[in-house]
C-alpha cells in the first residue's frame, strides 16, 4: 500500500474506441449466452489463447476454443440452463504495439426456467484485442473466477 | 451450431449514439426505481407496446403502461422494497427505418431495509427506440425474464 | 406520482465526457478492489467529502478517506475476501459550475476462494466530479447502501 498514485489520464483511449469495445462485448457475450458458438468463437483470432483458472491449461487456437465452447453450449442446452455474462466496469488501455487491453468484470447468472436466477460466478477478464480487417478480435484472453484459486 | 461467423462491425453505430443510449437507460431506469412513474413512462411513445413474458398480453399504449407502472410502484412503496434495474452489456444496432435496436441485460435486485439485497430477476430487454423532438423514446419493448417460460 | 415528464435530453453531456467517466470508474473501482489504496484514494481531491449511510459521519479529506480505506483493505486481505464493485447504469449530468454529476448503481460481490460468490450489497453512488490538472477527481461522494436506512 505504499505505491505512488497513478498519473494516468482517462483520455488515453478515445470515446470512439471505448464505444467500439463496448459494442464488441455486447455482441460477443450475447453470442455465447445464446449458444451461437460460431459467432462467439469467430471473435477470436485463429491463433488466440484463452487462459482461465477454471482449466489447468490454456486453450490454444480457435479450433480448441470452439470444441470447448460447443461442449459447454451442449451442456447448457441439455440442462435447460440459461447463462448470462453481464459485463460491467470496462477499462480500456492501449496495449503493446497496436493492441488494446480491455478489462471487465462479469457477473455470470444461471437460471433454470421455473427456478430462481442465481449469481453463478464473478469473473475478471483481461483481453488483448487486435484490429484485423476493420474490426476487433481477441488475441489473448485471461479470465479469473473469483471463487477458484488464482494459480 | 453450424452458422457462419457474423461479419458485423462495431462501427455500425456511432460513439455519440451509443453514449446517448447509455444516458437514456441511466435516466430511464433510475426514474422507474425511484418510483417517478411519469418520468419513466414519459420515455415511451404514446402508442408504444411493452411486451413481457411476465404478462399474458402486451401492454398497448402509454396509458396502459402507466396504469401498470403506478400499481407496481405502489406495491413497492407499501412493502418498503427497493428495486434496482442494473443495466449491463448494451448492444445498439440500426433498426428498420430510422429506428435503433437496443439490447440490454438487466440484473434486478430487491432489498428491504434491514435485510439482504437479493438478485430478484435476470431479464433480457430489446427496445426499438425512435427519435422524436430531438430525443429518444421507446416505441416497442420486449422483455424476457430468464426464470419464466419464453412463450 | 404527479410530476410532469422531464424534458431532459441525453445530449447534455458529450460522448467524449461520458466515455471518460466510464474509464474513470473502471480504473477507480479496480484500484479499490485490488487493494491498491493509494491509487484509489488518489482519485479524491485533497479536501473531498465521502458520505455513506454505512457510517454515522462523512469522511472529510483524503487523509481520513485513506485511513479508512487502508483499514478496509487490511480486513479484506486478512479474511482472504475478494470484493468487486461492479458499476452499472451510469448517468452523467452537468453539475453546478464546471462540475459533473455522475450517478451509478454498484453491485458489490464478495467471494472467498473455495466458496460461492455472493451479492454482498447494492449501492447507489452520486459523485460530484471536478477536472483538475487535466483529469477527473471526486470532490464529493454520496453512497447509499440499499439495505441500510437512508438517514
String of DSSP letters for chain A: --PPPP---GGGS-HHHHHHHHHHHHHHHHHHHTT-HHHHHTTEEEEEEEEETTSSS-EESHHHHHHHHHHHHHHHHHHTEEEEEEEEEEEEEE-STT-EEEEEEEEEEEEETTS--EEEEEEEEEEEEEEETTEEEEEEEEEEETTS---
Is A9 within a domain? no
Structural domain that includes position A53: 15-145
* pLDDT over threshold 50, residue C28: yes
Please tell me the distance from the alpha carbon of residue C1 to that of residue C120, in angstroms, as a whole number. Answer: 31
Name the band, by pLDDT with cuts 50, 70 and 90, for residue C133: very high
Is A5 within a domain? no
> How many domains does chain C fold into?
1
Is C1 within a domain? no
Cell numbers of B16, please?
Answer: 455519440
- Rg, C-alpha atoms of chain A: 16
Q: What is the pLDDT of residues A44-91, one digit of tens each?
A: 999 999 999 999 999 999 999 999 999 999 999 999 999 999 999 999
Is B10 within a domain? no
Of C19, C29, C114, the CB nearest to A19: C19
Q: What is the ipTM of this complex?
A: 0.92
Tell me, yes or no, if the pTM score tops 0.95.
Answer: no
Name the band, by pLDDT with cuts 50, 70 and 90, for residue C12: confident
Q: What is the pLDDT of residues B87-115, one digit of tens each?
A: 999 999 999 888 999 999 999 999 999 99
Residue entry with cell 487502508: C70
Taking each helix axis from N to C terminus, what angle separates A15-33 and B15-33, rounded to the nearest 10 degrees? 70
Q: What is the pLDDT of residue A28?
A: 98
Please tell me the distance from the alpha carbon of residue B104 to that of residue C89, in angstroms, as a whole number. Answer: 11
Q: What is the pLDDT of residue A135?
A: 95
Is C2 within a domain? no
* pLDDT over threshold 80, residue A43: yes
Is A119 part of the contact surface with chain C (CB cutoff 8 Å)?
yes
Cβ distance of A11 and C20 shorter than 8 Å: yes
Q: Which residue of A has its CA nearest to B149?
A: A113
B142 CA: distance to closest CA in chain A (Å): 16
Scored b (16 or more CB within 10 A) or e, B15-33 reads bbbbbbbbbbbbbbbbbbb
* pLDDT over threshold 50, residue C3: no
* Subunit partners of chain C (3 or more CB pairs within 8 A): A, B
Is A61 within a domain? yes
Q: What is the pLDDT of residues B118-133, one digit of tens each?
A: 999 999 999 999 999 9
Cβ distance of B146 and A84 shorter than 8 Å: yes
Cβ distance of A23 and B121 shorter than 8 Å: no
Q: What is the pLDDT of residues A90-113, one digit of tens each?
A: 999 999 888 999 999 999 999 999
Name the band, by pLDDT with cuts 50, 70 and 90, for residue C15: very high
Higher-pLDDT residue of B7 and B30 is: B30
Q: What is the pLDDT of residue A10?
A: 52
Determine the residue among A21, A109, A117 to mutate to test chain B binding: the one whose Cβ has the most chain B Cβ atoms within 10 Å.
A117
- Cβ contacts (< 8 Å) between C15 and chain B: which residues? 15-16, 18-20
Q: What is the pLDDT of residues A113-149, one digit of tens each?
A: 999 999 999 999 999 999 999 999 999 999 999 999 9
Of B5, B18, B107, the CB nearest to A38: B5
Q: What is the pLDDT of residue B12?
A: 72
Average pLDDT value for residue range B70-80:
95
Q: What is the pLDDT of residue A12?
A: 72
CATH number for the domain including C76? 3.10.450.50
Phi-psi region of B116 (alpha: psi -120 to 50; beta: other; left: phi over 0): beta
Cβ distance of C146 and B38 shorter than 8 Å: no
A14 CA: distance to closest CA in chain C (Å): 7
In order of A93, B21, B94, B111, C42, the CA distances from C92 in angstroms are: 22, 12, 24, 25, 21
Taking each helix axis from N to C terminus, what angle separates B15-33 and C15-33, rounded to the nearest 10 degrees? 70
Q: What is the pLDDT of residues C54-108, one digit of tens each?
A: 999 999 999 999 999 999 999 999 999 999 999 999 999 999 888 999 999 999 9
Is A3 within a domain? no
Q: What is the pLDDT of residue C127?
A: 98
Grouping H, G, I as helix, E, B as strand and the rest as coil, residue B114 is coil
Cβ distance of C27 and A8 shorter than 8 Å: yes
Cβ distance of B38 and C2 shorter than 8 Å: yes
B31 CA: distance to closest CA in chain C (Å): 10
Is C37 part of the contact surface with chain A (CB cutoff 8 Å)?
yes
Is C137 within a domain? yes
Is B13 part of the contact surface with chain A (CB cutoff 8 Å)?
yes
Instruction: Please report the residues numbered 73 through 102 in chain C whose beta carbons come closer than 8 angstroms to any beta carbon of chain A.
Output: 73, 82, 84-88
Amino acid at each position: 500500500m505504499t505505491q505512488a498514485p497513478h498519473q494516468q489520464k482517462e483520455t488515453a483511449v478515445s470515446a470512439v474506441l471505448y464505444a467500439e469495445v463496448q459494442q464488441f462485448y455486447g455482441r460477443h457475450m450475447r453470442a455465447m449466452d445464446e449458444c451461437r458458438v460460431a459467432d462467439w468463437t469467430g471473435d477470436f483470432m485463429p491463433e488466440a489463447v484463452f487462459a482461465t483458472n477454471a482449466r489447468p491449461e490454456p486453450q490454444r487456437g480457435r479450433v480448441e476454443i470452439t470444441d470447448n465452447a460447443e461442449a459447454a453450449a451442449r451442456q447448457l442446452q441439455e440442462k435447460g440452463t440459461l447463462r448470462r455474462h453481464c459485463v460491467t466496469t470496462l477499462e480500456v488501455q492501449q496495449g503493446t504495439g497496436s493492441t488494446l487491453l480491455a478489462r471487465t468484470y462479469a457477473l455470470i447468472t444461471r437460471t433454470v426456467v421455473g427456478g430462481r436466477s442465481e449469481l453463478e460466478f464473478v469473473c475478471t477478464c483481461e483481453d488483448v484485442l487486435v484490429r484485423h480487417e476493420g474490426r476487433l478480435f481477441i488475441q489473448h484472453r485471461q479470465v479469473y473466477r473469483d471463487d477458484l484459486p488464482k494459480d
